[in-house]
Amino acid sequence: MFHLSPGDLPALGGAFAAASVCVGWQRVAKGRDRDDARNLVEVLVANVRLEAVGTDLLVTLNRPLVVAQGSSAAPQTGAGVVGVGGFGSGVDGGGDGPGSGGGDGGPGWAVLRGVLRSLTVHEWGLFG
């Protein structure tokens, strides 16, 4: 987990109390695939605390890293490594993420960072 700064969420104009990102991996089968057809998926979750309205915003990103030979996704993507990098995943090209001194976090972090930089609330009344 690492904490975000106002520079990571510029479109919110400092309207958050705290923000952080957690990264993990899961082996998951697609649809009705068997357990031996589980794919390795990177999961990034950003939590943005909006204290003024008493809620948190969660932004999630799932990115396949390895597609299993028996996966129903294999005919479209090919089996094996389909994504690289990402927070020390053990898949070639990975960094350890911002704030850890170990790299840039890879393609998943680049996408999530773009989403967070553009994250804005147009209607604060939605929160109550």
Instruction: Give tens-digit pLDDT for 42-93.
Output: 999 999 999 999 999 999 999 989 999 888 888 888 888 887 665 554 444 4
Q: What pTM, to 2 d.p., does this model score?
A: 0.78
Looking at the chain, which runs of residues are DSSP E strands? 2-3, 18-28, 39-50, 55-67, 80-81
Residue 82 makes CB contacts below 8 A (sequence gap 6+) with 64, 65, 66, 67
Mean pLDDT, the chain, whole residue set: 84
Please give the pLDDT value at position 82: 80
